[in-house]
Every structure is written in C-alpha cells, then in structure tokens.
Amino acid sequence: MRARIGHLVKVIWSRPWVRFLFYSFMGLWAIAADPFRLSSATDRAIGEQYSQFYSRTTPVGNLPITVVIIDRESIDGLFNDGRGKLSVGDWPIAYSDHAAILTQIVKGKPNPPVGIFYDILFEKPRLSSGRLELLNRRVELIQKTTGIPVFFAAGGPDMPLSGETLSILSSPSLVRTNWHQPVGTYPLVFSDDTNWKESKSLPPTNFSLEKLSPALSLYKTYCSRSGSCEVPKDGENSFRNNLKIQWPMASEGVEGDSGIECLPKSSSGRYIEVGRRIIKTTLEALFNTEGPAVAATECLPIHVVQVSDLFRDVQPARLMPPGLKPGDPYVVMVGVVMPSAGDYHRTPVYGKLPGVFFHAAAFENLHRMGRDYYYHKDLTWLSLSLWFVAAFAMMCHAKYRRSHPITKPIPVFLGWWVLLIGTVLILHAVLTHVFRIVPEGWLSMMAILPLLREVVMRHEAGLFDRKEKNK
C-alpha cells in the first residue's frame, strides 16, 4: 500500500503543471499570507523610510493652516491666579473658556479662517465645567454671524460621545477622531456611523454627524473658498480613502530666532544629509551605536500659535500663516498639547507628536495631492505575477540545464541574483518616480526570490536524477 502511494506521488510530481502549482503556492503563502509578518513589517519599514527620505529632500513651503495649541503655559498665564481671562487654572478648562477661545479666533480678524476644527472631546457634560449649552450657543452664533463652519471632535469606537452630549451639541458638525488603522494611516471617509452607538436612540436632527475625517472636512471647506484646489470624488484615480501620512519639513529655517536649521539650503546638501542618516542607521543596527536624531518639532511647516498669544492686549498673535496674501483662505485647528492629555502618537520623522498635528499633517498631504504626494498602493498582485513568471522561467532554465550542465555555478548563481533583484528594483523605481506610487507587498519578495531559484533547481535536479536512475 505504501509503495503504491509512493509511486502515485512520484507520478503526480512528475507532471510539470503540478510542480508549477507547488512553486506558485509557495509565493502565495510567502507574499500574500504574510508569514512571520514579513510582508507587513517590510511595508511599514519602507513606508517610514520614504517618509524620512522625502521629508528631508523635498521641503514644503507655506501652508494654509494654523494650529492653535492649548498648553500648560497658556492656561497658567491666562488664569493668572484668578485675575486673568480664563475662569479655571487647570485642565480641563470650563466650557465658557472654550467659548472664549473660539470667539477670540474669529473676533475682529481682518482675515479670519474659513473653517475651524476643535480637536477636544467633550465626552460627557461635566458639572464642574459649567453648562455645555453655553458653548453650543456660542458656536451657533459664530457660524450664523461669520459663516465659518466649526467642527468638533466626536470620538469613535473606543471613545464615543454620550447621548447627553450629542443632544446638546446641535450647532457644530461632529467629525470622527478615533479609529482602528495601522500606525501612520489616516482614513478620509467613513462608510457609516455605526460606531456611535449612543446616537442610535437620538433624532437625527439633534446633531450633524459627518462621515468625513477632520482633515478632509476642513479641506473641502478650504477648497470651496479657494480656486486653486479641487476635492477628489469617490471613484477618481486621484482619490485614496486612506492616507499614509508623509510628514513635511520646512524649507530652510523656522520662525523666530531659535537657531535651528531644518534642512540644508542646497539640494546636494539635503541628499548628503540623507546619505549620512542611512549610514548612521546601518551602524546602529550593526554595532548598536547612536542612531540619527529625529527632526525638531519646530521644523514642521505649520504655523503654530499658543492660545495665550491670541489674548494679548498688545499685538495679539496673527492667525494667518506667514507667506499668504491678504484674502487667501486658510483653516485653523485647535488642540491640547500637554502630556497629561495622553494624546501623543509616534511619527517616523518627529518622534511623538500631539494628535492635532496628525490632522494638520493629513490636511497638508491633501493640499499636496496631485503634485508631489506619493500614494501608497498595495501591489501584492504584481508581486505574485512576477513570482509566477520567475517560477516558470526557472523551471525552463532547469530543463535546459539537463542537457547543458553548469560549468561555473557561482557566476550563474550571481547572474540570476542580479537579474531578479535588478528587475524588482527597476520596477520599484518606475512605479515611484513615474507613477508616484509607493508599492506595498512588493520589496519583501526581493528577500525570497533567490530562495525560489534554489528550491526549483533542487527539485527539478532531483526529479532528473530519479529519471536517470530509473533508466
């Protein structure tokens, strides 16, 4: 019985199409099934390196966005031991203080913003913070008198707003700020609002629940006032539902006299700096030396204003980003920047940053879309196609070698290795520099293609040896 089964296996294995299916399944398992997280880890590492590379070689100029930060220094200064302009000297501040901040953003400005995103989650009304209805009425007044839309953070699956909050906040539009996505990925559109379980029992007229992310909501508002951009629609090739955030860097310096140089002034100097970082990263991996430093947060090309500077009696801070002309539209995001808030996230360029800067960076990426933004696209199907072609070519090569034995195995092996790796890298370069696509599910194949050749040649050679012995 065992001899019969063994003979049947040999007969089946002798069929070329069976062996081709076996080699193809190896590629399907190694590339698509992501064993040992090889493909996903490679994609994540490559994505971070692209962000590092392009941030340091392609500086970004003036952007139509300002981030207003509420930090410990501002709260202490504005409270001023009870004699200042805030009624509370600790976080969380009162609802009347939030209303005052929103009023200060639009009050008496010759060039007010065209949209405001308030990245603070009012999960449940707090009696100690006053009446949430006051803040809602202030937003209603701002939108009615200025026409400026105001968006509030609405949480998500892990941090839903309570039904009581939703019944009160009828004036601002609510945008989702909590989601489950891979690190560094920013969703743009949500298919439905099923994650707001509390909202199911409420009449839909009580609140406006947006299906767009904060960045896309503000970008739509910005584009409606600007003739220089157009919001992509669903189904267009330029539209991607998920952004892989590419962190921008300022061109040469930073505002003020901090003395921090962000990027070298010349293009050659920037590429030399990238080369140094690659060397440092390699030495860090090999010899556990000190790796390259993260970029200073002052190098973010985003106009940042402390909320206390808006309340100065003499020369309050300008909200309009520098470099824009009078009348140019811009948007404002407001967020909390203090460790106790816990809203910090890791970035590949700047280390950890507060969550409001993720929304700001996503807005910047949308603003660059169509120019020098690089789309991340899953090209696993292309990897598998190349794998199938390589498997077929290697089987043909093995058949050829049956009548033409190898006399110099090392040069042949190196030649195959250079051909395979070169093909992957050339296609990668074409996708990146011609089509502006950062391919995912792709470079992990480079590590296993040489292994495919060894497997194919050994199996085909073993089959040939068995046939010779049977003669």
DSSP letter assigned to residue 58: S
Both structure tokens of 28? 């399907």
Instruction: In whole angstroms, give the CA distance from residue 439 to residue 328.
Output: 36
Chain centre to alpha carbon of residue 143: 31
Q: pTM for the whole thing? A: 0.83
Q: pLDDT per position in the chain (471 positions), as tens?
A: 677 777 777 778 788 888 899 888 888 888 877 776 777 777 777 778 778 888 888 888 889 999 999 999 999 999 987 778 888 888 999 999 999 999 999 987 789 999 999 999 999 999 889 999 999 999 999 999 999 999 999 988 888 888 899 999 999 999 999 888 877 889 888 865 444 444 444 444 445 567 889 999 999 999 988 877 766 555 444 445 678 888 999 875 544 445 677 888 888 988 898 899 889 988 888 888 888 888 888 899 999 999 999 999 888 899 999 989 888 999 999 999 998 777 898 898 998 999 999 999 999 999 888 677 777 788 888 888 888 998 898 888 888 877 777 677 778 778 877 887 888 888 888 888 888 888 877 777 766 777 787 788 877 776 755 554 444
Instruction: In whole angstroms, give the CA distance from residue 228 to residue 268.
Output: 31
Both structure tokens of 297? 């947060």
Instruction: In whole angstroms, give the CA distance from residue 41 to residue 153.
Output: 31
> How far, in Å, are 37, 317, 345, 440 from residue 32 at the CA level?
10, 52, 29, 11
Nearest partner of 102 among 329, 334, 320, 403, judged by Cα? 334
Nearest partner of 221 among 281, 282, 146, judged by Cα? 146
Q: Where are the beta strands (DSSP E) in 194-296?
A: 208-209, 242-244
CB of 65 closer than 8 Å to CB of 334: no
Question: At residue 396, what is the residue type?
Answer: C
CB of 65 closer than 8 Å to CB of 356: no
Helices vs. strands in the chain: H and E counts, helices first: 14, 13
For the chain, the residue count is 471
Beta bridge mates, 306: 69
DSSP letter assigned to residue 212: B
Q: Where are the beta strands (DSSP E) in 262-371?
A: 303-306, 331-336, 344-347, 351-354
Both structure tokens of 191? 């298919």
DSSP H helices in 87-227:
95-106, 132-146, 163-168, 214-225
Nearest partner of 445 among 9, 12, 43, 3, judged by Cα? 43
Nearest partner of 30 among 396, 426, 450, 463, judged by Cα? 450
Q: What SS3 state is found at 331?
A: strand
Residue with tokens 């061109």: 251
Q: Where are the beta strands (DSSP E) in 280-369?
A: 303-306, 331-336, 344-347, 351-354
